[in-house]
Chains A and B, each alone.
Chain A
């Protein structure tokens, strides 16, 4: 765009005084648009005057604004009846028949600037007496994020297009915007300045005749005033956007690795009780009492209520449902053509896969190498966090469906081949049984042992006697479980050594807090580099660790320094993570995308749970088991593999979408915890759970309508009514003002574009 030294008198315009009329809808910013125009001409040294035709000032209503430009001071105080330039902020305002006055008084050659998505071509045959300019200001302003979801504000964008249409130099536009403090919109204005298309008037074309003033409306007789006169104004025609009821994705549900409908089951608990909530929960989650205790609860970490008065304690509610669910499960009927599946591994992923497949009517053989089902839930999680009877009840519900479970059956590569030959599909969910070794001098000394093995022994009823100072190496839940179990086995003192900082510990933060409360010490940024002692370990050498460059996951890679010190100890428990059994996948096979491949041939053997993902939480394992089961079934039946696509980010409900003012401040209900001094020496469950289910009342129900009537009450036109399970909007009168959507406390509504050409 070249800079022009002087303002050219606009083509087709009358000489000064220049009169401009802006037509828009309430909320589009027409008055400010007219003011921007005035500012541009004032920058050129002209006298200007600008004002709005103020009416009922309601969003969506047609509104007008005016600007006059002259060389002499302006004394004309009237509205503009013979405009030289017409700006139409919404082309849908153009005459569609009778009664419209947008073009009223504009003579041949007048500039008609339209905000339209239809382009100049749509106006080739119409309005040919005018010099027509067209720009899709709504699209441009929307791209630049001007306005809100309920209403795009196009005024500044249209002003940019206008400047180009009348050959004003860009520098004038910039100065005018700055003078009104609207620099932020210059980007959109600049885009419109470049994008506007202009068409000359057709010589000899005749402009529409000025409107004949309508006769004054008759005044109602006195008696008429007491009657409810129906409005003759179909305000629905003012609408450019319309409200719609649509559920959005709650952050808790989006965050759940198991794929639970979190907001759904919490709301079901609130409105329908335990059984109603369990129906939703059991669709994705066979182990609610387990997850209600040991899940790190990413749902609560994502909860929008955290930005208000504290996240909803979803985990405790899940436990409430699981513990009080009377339904012990029932035998699932077989499908018409039942398929035969084998699941290897009775941990959470295997149980989840078996439950999903058996519930869908297929035969499931579940094989577990250990003595009982539950995997790490049974062998690795201490009783004070997860009592065995709780685990047994959840497992029993899975088995009740008719799963053929066999324990003490270890499967290796040839075994997998044999299972594959006998079954339609095999799901390997054997977890990560091999503890990671520490490659440091003295790691094989007596008293240095694998933490998971220690926990398993305790879980089996052994009570290994510990004494003195026990050092636990690691930062995950296993490390914390080891530390707290060591205390309960008689250790006088327990120290956790972890190579990163406390915030980076993968363990559940509340578990870390509880361990510290029980007296466990935490040494961060320490890595054992050697163990010493005569026969049994007596010292561990801990090197200091500094955070280095971030790795692929964004975590800073620990860098071991040369600074080291010795710590006297009587036992060391290593909780450094685990690896898979390398002999499980048959020799010669490979794994691609969670599926075993025999050369290039995909087999019907699938990997699930930690074996597939290594995510390491019960919730991840449960989600993986169910999803892999669905994929395996789809592959067997030749059906399309179900897509697993996360909801798009723009569909998530964020704190900005929640109207906090709608909700009373109500702090989270605490769970009942045994006192640290009482609990630290015994294996009784530490957390007694909630006293009642009232925590569910705190759920915002993000993205899900609760029939709270806020839309109905806030509609300025009173056109929202209850209908069936939800609401209906009277389209004849809805102006699309967006108040209902803005007022909705939980983003259960949205505005959608009305077609421009109505």
Chain B
């Protein structure tokens, strides 16, 4: 059996390394890193890699880590960083800067609940805090997907029709610290898939200030450009999938992954590994004769609204499971998709597994049972996993 026994943290670091080396004939690789559980092992492995053209810079904060990536990306280097939780919160100002400067930075987040009180475990609230920062966001469901998505992220981010930073999310511990067989491509394969980075404009010998001032009219135009670039992501991503399949022999997952959804009476929509658990619950429910289906939202930004609306067509009952809670509102994903169903459909929000609760198939079954008993959507249901 091919593949290496590695964690998702290490899969991400190896993908970044391969991508970084693939840019050796251009402006090389640069990464600013600062440790935080559960993303630390990713930066540690990266720090131990050797780059014939490039450097991993250990800085004093997450804010500076992203600053390193911004400077390096602006001068044409392929860039990478990784963080989690409050580290992302501290980084946020420069996260926004990287996007508004349209720099193709790639970041891997090991999702962890924001504190205090301090909690180390999986929760999507940290990356969803960056929802409106202008980054593309992917949520992964296994180690292989983390590695593949990081590679795809570079090709997507660096495409001149996009030129946006990409955030690849993997749940802390559930993925970051779980070891499974993962296929790691050769440098030659990655070289074929990832051409050297060419920016339409980059910093050279002349010092320049980045950013400057956007007066109202120009700001409107910049925002519109940014928004349109987001809108082109799905089209470019399809080409990335094709190229990846051609060079590496497997096809990365679609932005939205339906599972036995076509004939389902009841749909469960979720992100990350909970969506895979939901697929196991679907199999169990189908075995009992219940027509349950599942939908995994893999690309959260740009919003896959059209794809979801197509899947939701004709569905009367849709459960949305969030591993996050927008306080005073409900689940963030639920808020995003509840308007995509047909009028009159029951789209009920459930919040499970925040702060690392182990969401199991029986929880998904409980969600389905609750939804089946409803005639109208109510306030979001906050559930406890008990573990």
Q: Which residue numbers of A lie inside 8 Å of B, CB to CB? A: 35, 38-39, 42, 45, 47-52, 54, 74-79, 179-180, 213, 216
The closest CB in chain A to the CB of B273 belongs to A77
> A50 CA to B181 CA in the complex, in Å?
10
What would be 14 A-B contacts, judged by CB atoms less than 8 Å apart?
Answer: A39-B5, A47-B1, A48-B181, A51-B177, A51-B178, A52-B173, A54-B120, A54-B121, A54-B177, A74-B180, A75-B279, A77-B276, A78-B360, A79-B358
> A38 CA to B359 CA in the complex, in Å?
23
Apart from A50-B180, A79-B358, 4 more pairs, CB < 8 Å:
A35-B5, A38-B5, A54-B177, A180-B5
Q: Which residues of B from 263 to 279 have beta carbons under 8 Å from A? A: 273, 276-277, 279
Q: Which residues of B from 338 to 370 have beta carbons under 8 Å from A? A: 358-361
Pairwise interchain contact A77-B277, C-beta atoms closer than 8 A: yes
Q: Which residues of B from 214 to 236 have beta carbons under 8 Å from A? A: none
> A48 CA to B361 CA in the complex, in Å?
20
Known: A38-B179, A54-B38, A79-B358. A45 touches B1 (CB 8 A): yes
* Partner pick for B180 among A49, A52, A79, A179, CB 8 A cutoff: A49
CB of B103 within 8 Å of the partner chain:
no
* Partner pick for B181 among A47, A52, A76, A213, CB 8 A cutoff: A47
> A75 CA to B283 CA in the complex, in Å?
12
Query: With a CB–CB cut-off of 8 A, which chain A residues contact B121?
Result: 54
Query: With a CB–CB cut-off of 8 A, which chain A residues contact B52?
Result: none
Pairwise interchain contact A51-B273, C-beta atoms closer than 8 A: no
B335 to A: closest C-beta gap in Å: 25
Query: With a CB–CB cut-off of 8 A, which chain B residues contact A179?
Result: 5
CB of B201 within 8 Å of the partner chain:
no
Query: With a CB–CB cut-off of 8 A, which chain A residues contact B361?
Result: 78
> A52 CA to B361 CA in the complex, in Å?
20
* Partner pick for A79 among B279, B384, B387, CB 8 A cutoff: B387
Query: With a CB–CB cut-off of 8 A, which chain A residues contact B279?
Result: 75
> A180 CA to B4 CA in the complex, in Å?
11
CB of B174 within 8 Å of the partner chain:
yes
Query: With a CB–CB cut-off of 8 A, which chain B residues contact A77?
Result: 174, 178, 273, 276-277
B387 to A: closest C-beta gap in Å: 7
Query: With a CB–CB cut-off of 8 A, which chain B residues contact A38?
Result: 5, 179
CB of B161 within 8 Å of the partner chain:
no
Query: With a CB–CB cut-off of 8 A, which chain A residues contact B120?
Result: 54
**Most interface-central of A51, A75, A77, A78 (chain B CB within 10 A):** A77
A26 to B: closest C-beta gap in Å: 14
The closest CB in chain B to the CB of A78 belongs to B360
Pairwise interchain contact A42-B276, C-beta atoms closer than 8 A: no
> A75 CA to B276 CA in the complex, in Å?
7
> A554 CA to B78 CA in the complex, in Å?
63
Query: With a CB–CB cut-off of 8 A, which chain A residues contact B260?
Result: none
CB of B200 within 8 Å of the partner chain:
no
The closest CB in chain A to the CB of B360 belongs to A78
> A664 CA to B1 CA in the complex, in Å?
55
Query: With a CB–CB cut-off of 8 A, which chain A residues contact B360?
Result: 78
CB of B289 within 8 Å of the partner chain:
no
CB of B386 within 8 Å of the partner chain:
yes
Query: With a CB–CB cut-off of 8 A, which chain A residues contact B180?
Result: 47-50, 74
The closest CB in chain A to the CB of B38 belongs to A54
* Partner pick for A78 among B5, B179, B181, B358, CB 8 A cutoff: B358
> A561 CA to B125 CA in the complex, in Å?
86
Query: With a CB–CB cut-off of 8 A, which chain B residues contact A52?
Result: 173, 177
> A42 CA to B178 CA in the complex, in Å?
15
> A552 CA to B280 CA in the complex, in Å?
77
